Chains A and B, each alone.
Chain A
Amino acid sequence: MTGDELRQLLDRELEPAGRAWLAGAEAAVRKDPRVVQTAFPAAGRSVGRRLLAGDPPTGWTADDAARALLLITLGDAAGEQVPDLFGYGDADEQRAVVRSLHLLPPVPGAAELVAAASRSNDRRLVAASLGPWALAHLDDEAVAQSVLKCVFQEVPLTGLPGLAERATPRLSRMLAELAHERIAAGRPVPEDVWPLIERFPPEDTLARIEAEQEHPVPERRAAARAALASRRGQET
């Protein structure tokens, strides 16, 4: 998603009042970047919070998009303003910052902002911590930790394009071991971990999961069979 695409998607949905507010806010921010400190939090009630229509689904809401456009308008002042917008932001504002990072000039401490988003317990914020900027810049270990956090928070991994290219043998193994842990507890395994496990299949862990199908505890047998059925269902 580029800034221009975002602007087009948002513009289709805006009412005249929202369009006028955004144009006024962008002009004011261009003149004095500090205006973003009050325009950024106010975006939601000025442009609304509807999901922007698109095929495939955009995953962007009107307030996220308006906030991204305000950050783009900052230009070189983004480095100075963005860290505090994140720090003083509520979960919605923080999410907009993290989702917009790839549209902005380099922001000092961006990796720390993404890490803080990943540590939060807000599922939409956690999902944003594996956005385009994070996948392009974070090291393997940070990506792996964020993926595990998403699985724990039940954030669907299928909504995170580009993730498969960041898989490593270590991530595949961590996910397989998480799957085994769930099975041993008699709990379901989220289906969307399997494509990442299959990138570098850890044969020993997978063999232990196979063996769970004959485990004396019926809940473990059932969980293992269900998990492996969903794994086979994705082998097409």
Chain B
Amino acid sequence: MRIFDPHIHMSSRTTDDYEAMYAAGVRAIVEPAFWLGQPRTSVGSFVDYFQSLLGWERFRASQFGIRHHCTIALNPKEANDPGLRTEVLSILPRFLAKDGVVAVGEVGYDSATPDEDAAFEEQVAMGQEHRLPLLVHTPHRDKAAGTRRSIDLLRAAGVPGEMAVIDHNNELTVEDTLDSGYWAGFSVYPDTKMDVDRMVRILQQYGTDRILVNSAADWGRSDPLRVRKVADAMTAAGFDADDVDKVVWRNPVEFFGRSGRLELDEPAPDAAATFAGNSILRGAPAGS
């Protein structure tokens, strides 16, 4: 089974996770830029974070046979810091131009403030300029209203259905999202957001078109193998192998493929390889 996890924050995960993901069939991932669990205080912290998503993390994944891509954006939560917002937005185009960036994201709403509106709109325009799809985060609080407001903003900007995914859907938002023409992402967590069995019921009810299933694993309680668990639950529920492949591989490839920047050949792990001279080996220098 080949698996593409379209939303996972690998910077927060261990090499054990990479090994387990490869063993479970994960061959490609997208790591969206998001916040770090606590606020950053300067634009330089964003620059270094973006550089690590494009550099070290991509290299680290390749050492485990996994193709790593990322999305770049100012997240909605930190868009509420007025000084940061201006500075981070001004450097984003430099990063959106880089190889390995397959969408603008995570954009969207956290508390649905006017500052978040402004950052969201500006980044939607950047996506159009760089011909990149948009990865739209939806809020934990007042999710249904935030989802509808995101859809309205995307429509007003003229973003076509195939160029945005609304993420973190649940039973109460899935119809609005699919009816809008945009793609629907589902973050399957051990105990919140969406679980494996509910995910399968949604697939049974709404079909497999325009649906992305992700683990959204990060620094919180989460599970980098959730996409594989959904695939197994789909099989147990009677979906055939082609349905499973469509949900866990072909759909994300189709969506993020619109960036023109996906690389899906399997990287050959090379124990002697280094990124900027630093290897993932510990206790033995690279190449010795």
Interface residues of A (CB under 8 A from B): 37-42, 44-45, 88, 90-91, 120-123, 125, 153-154
Interface string of B95-139 (1 = CB under 8 A from A): 111110000000000000000000000000000001000000000
Known pairs A44-B99, A90-B54, A90-B55; A38 contacts B94 (CB<8 A): yes
Interface residues of B (CB under 8 A from A): 47, 51, 54-55, 91, 93-99, 130, 260-261, 274, 276-278, 287
Cβ-defined partner of B277 (8 Å) among A38, A40, A41, A121: A121
The dominant DSSP class at the A interface is helix
Would B276 and A122 count as touching, CB distance under 8 A? yes
Listed A/B pairs (17) with beta-carbon separation below 8 Å: A37-B97, A38-B94, A38-B130, A41-B97, A41-B98, A42-B97, A44-B99, A45-B260, A45-B261, A90-B54, A90-B55, A91-B55, A121-B276, A121-B278, A122-B276, A123-B277, A125-B276
Known A-B contacts: A37-B93, A45-B99. Give 20 more (CB < 8 A): A37-B94, A37-B97, A38-B93, A38-B97, A38-B130, A39-B97, A40-B97, A41-B95, A41-B97, A45-B260, A88-B47, A88-B95, A90-B55, A90-B98, A91-B276, A120-B276, A121-B276, A121-B277, A122-B276, A154-B287
Known pairs A41-B98, A42-B97; A153 contacts B47 (CB<8 A): no
The residues of B that contact A40 with a CB separation of less than 8 Å are: 97
Distance of A70 Cα from B97 Cα, bound (Å): 15
Distance of A90 Cα from B96 Cα, bound (Å): 13
Would B277 and A90 count as touching, CB distance under 8 A? no
Cβ-defined partner of A153 (8 Å) among B55, B96, B99, B277: B277
Question: Measured between C-beta atoms, what is the minimum distance from A162 to chain B in Å?
Answer: 24
Cβ-defined partner of A88 (8 Å) among B94, B99, B278: B94
B96, B277, B287: most-surrounded residue (chain A CB, <10 A): B277
Tally inter-chain residue pairs, CB-CB below 8 A. Answer: 44
Distance of A40 Cα from B278 Cα, bound (Å): 25
Would B94 and A41 count as touching, CB distance under 8 A? yes
Distance of A39 Cα from B260 Cα, bound (Å): 16
The residues of B that contact A153 with a CB separation of less than 8 Å are: 277
Question: Measured between C-beta atoms, what is the minimum distance from A221 to chain B in Å?
Answer: 22
Would B51 and A90 count as touching, CB distance under 8 A? yes
Question: Measured between C-beta atoms, what is the minimum distance from B95 to chain A in Å?
Answer: 8
Residue of A nearest to B261 (CB): A45
The residues of B that contact A37 with a CB separation of less than 8 Å are: 93-94, 97
Residue of B nearest to A39 (CB): B97
Known pairs A45-B261, A90-B51, A90-B55; A121 contacts B94 (CB<8 A): no
Residue of B nearest to A87 (CB): B47
Residue of A nearest to B91 (CB): A88
Would A38 and B96 count as touching, CB distance under 8 A? yes
Residue of B nearest to A34 (CB): B93
A41, A120, A153: most-surrounded residue (chain B CB, <10 A): A41
Question: Measured between C-beta atoms, what is the minimum distance from B272 to chain A in Å?
Answer: 12
Cβ-defined partner of A122 (8 Å) among B94, B96, B277: B277
A40, A45, A125: most-surrounded residue (chain B CB, <10 A): A45
Residue of B nearest to A153 (CB): B277
Distance of A123 Cα from B286 Cα, bound (Å): 13
Distance of A20 Cα from B11 Cα, bound (Å): 37
The residues of B that contact A125 with a CB separation of less than 8 Å are: 276
Known pairs A38-B93, A38-B94, A44-B99; A120 contacts B55 (CB<8 A): no
Distance of A123 Cα from B91 Cα, bound (Å): 28
Distance of A90 Cα from B55 Cα, bound (Å): 7
Distance of A125 Cα from B55 Cα, bound (Å): 15
Question: Measured between C-beta atoms, what is the minimum distance from B41 to chain A in Å?
Answer: 19
Question: Measured between C-beta atoms, what is the minimum distance from A188 to chain B in Å?
Answer: 12
Distance of A121 Cα from B260 Cα, bound (Å): 30
Distance of A44 Cα from B130 Cα, bound (Å): 16
Distance of A120 Cα from B97 Cα, bound (Å): 23
The residues of A that contact B97 with a CB separation of less than 8 Å are: 37-42
Residue of A nearest to B54 (CB): A90
Residue of A nearest to B51 (CB): A90
The residues of A that contact B93 with a CB separation of less than 8 Å are: 37-38
The residues of B that contact A123 with a CB separation of less than 8 Å are: 277
Cβ-defined partner of A121 (8 Å) among B55, B261, B274: B274
The residues of A that contact B91 with a CB separation of less than 8 Å are: 88
Distance of A236 Cα from B154 Cα, bound (Å): 73
The residues of B that contact A39 with a CB separation of less than 8 Å are: 97
Distance of A187 Cα from B287 Cα, bound (Å): 14
Would B277 and A120 count as touching, CB distance under 8 A? yes
